[in-house]
A = this chain, B = another copy of it.
Amino acid sequence: MTKANRNATPRLDEHPGEGAVRGTQRMEIFADAVFAIAFTLPLLEIKLPEAGPGFGAALLDLWPSYLAYILSVLVIGIYWAHHHFSGAIYRTTGHHFLLATLLFLSLIAFIAFPTRAFAERLSDPQTRETGAIFYVCALAALSATWLLKWKTGCKTNDVDDRLDANYVRRLTRKYEVTTGLLLLAAAIAFLRWEAGLALAAVVTLANLRAPETPRYIEEAPAIEGDT
């Protein structure tokens, strides 16, 4: 191997601490691929009706499947947009942060199932309560793993340390409130599923809003000015 190649690609291996700390690019590619598959797979669950005179009506009768697809795509899409956003806030990936990310992603891949349990069984009065409780609980669990991932990233210093501490605090608070409200929604769903579902819907849709633009420590460059 030539000297030029040896030095060509700088690595982040020098970090002490937990195993090997690296940049975020490969973690993002893996996460984006999981998001993309979770986003696309629910389509496979929509079954084409048989040919015949009732074909048009049968296509319309598939509305619970369409609804399941729309809900899956909406929730996964919102999380992806925020994951995309936080990709620039994280700076490195240590082993424990990777494990927390994997836990979060396993729920992203799973969410399509409770979504179907809710949407595809919504038209059956005996079944829809159970489906709705399952769905709201799954949304709360997903939010909790997102919060866990964020807290792990903060604790292991994988979050960009040039960020303004108040900004990081506001973000932590926002994620905590979201998870707290969704856990509350899950508890309410056991009592009155419509109320629990409504709260979960409001909290989830609130995340359609753009996240706050990151703020950085203004003085940092000045302090490091001697380099």
Contacts and interface: CB of A to CB of B under 8 A. Distances in A.
Interface of A: 1-3, 5-20, 22-23, 26-30, 32-41, 43-46, 48, 51-53, 55-56, 59, 69-70, 73, 77, 80-81, 84-85, 87-88, 91-96, 98-99, 102, 105-106, 109-110, 112-113, 116-117, 120-121, 123-124, 126-127, 130-131, 134, 157, 161-162, 208-214, 216, 224, 227
A138 to B, nearest CB: 11
14 contacts: A5-B91, A7-B227, A8-B10, A13-B216, A19-B212, A20-B85, A20-B211, A37-B37, A37-B40, A48-B120, A52-B124, A59-B134, A73-B106, A94-B210
A30 B36 contact: yes
| Number of identical protomers | 4
A16 to B, nearest CB: 6
A95 B81 contact: yes
A109 to B, nearest CB: 4
Contacts of A48: 45, 113, 116-117, 120-121
B59 A77 contact: no
A114 B32 CA distance: 26
Given A43-B113, A85-B95, A124-B51, A23 B9 contact: yes
A210 B95 CA distance: 6
Contacts of A1: 15, 91-92, 157, 161
Contacts of A161: 1, 6
A143 B55 CA distance: 25
Nearest to A111: B43
A30 B80 CA distance: 9
A43 to B, nearest CB: 5
A154 to B, nearest CB: 14
A114 to B, nearest CB: 9
Nearest to A157: B1
Nearest to A106: B73
Contacts of A38: 40
